[in-house]
Amino acid sequence: MDKKEVPQDNGVLDHWHNIQYAVDENGRYTLVPSSGWEAANIANYQAWGIIEERLSQVIEKVSAGDLSPLAYHMEKNLMDIGLLAKYVRISRWRVKRHLRTDVFRRLPLNVLERYAKFFNISIEELQKVP
């Protein structure tokens, strides 16, 4: 692809740039910034739509009392139990248990602080869902 033909179709990631290889005026490969192309933009829009749908489902479950607010923060940050467990250094079964509303309400302050510190929010924010 010629350097002038690199797609610049703004989309979901329009303020971020992909780097593409293209041929410059001298016939050499060079790196050229690209703000995306239509096919990638369509895929990104679909993916973010699915993420928003899953997040709204989790908000409903938290509001109904089926899940703790920790589930919302996990989903918002695109995390699963195993990944969160590794980052906060709490066993997977304990993190899974903390997703239960009754257990989450009784968590000691030091555990809440670990979660809040990881998500870079206050303990009050951790305990609520917008």
* 55 & 98 share domain: yes
* 56 & 83 share domain: yes
For the cut 80, the answer to whether the pLDDT of residue 3 exceeds it is no
For the cut 70, the answer to whether the pLDDT of residue 20 exceeds it is yes
Average pLDDT of the segment spanning 3-32: 72
pLDDT confidence of residue 110: 96
3-state SS track over 40-97: HHHHHHHHHHHHHHHHHHHHHHHHHCCCCHHHHHHHHCCCCHHHHHHHHCCCHHHHHH
* 69 & 108 share domain: yes
pLDDT confidence of residue 12: 64
Does some domain include residue 101? yes
> In whole angstroms, what is the distance from residue 102 CA to residue 106 CA?
7
The domain in which residue 20 lies consists of 3-36
Does some domain include residue 41? no
Question: CATH no. for residue 73?
Answer: 1.10.260
Number of domains the chain contains: 2
Does some domain include residue 73? yes
Q: What is the mean pLDDT of the chain?
A: 88
* Higher pLDDT among residues 35 and 113, named by residue: 113
The DSSP result for 94-109, as a single string, is HHHHHTSHHHHHT--H
Of all residues in the chain, the percent with pLDDT exceeding 90 is: 62
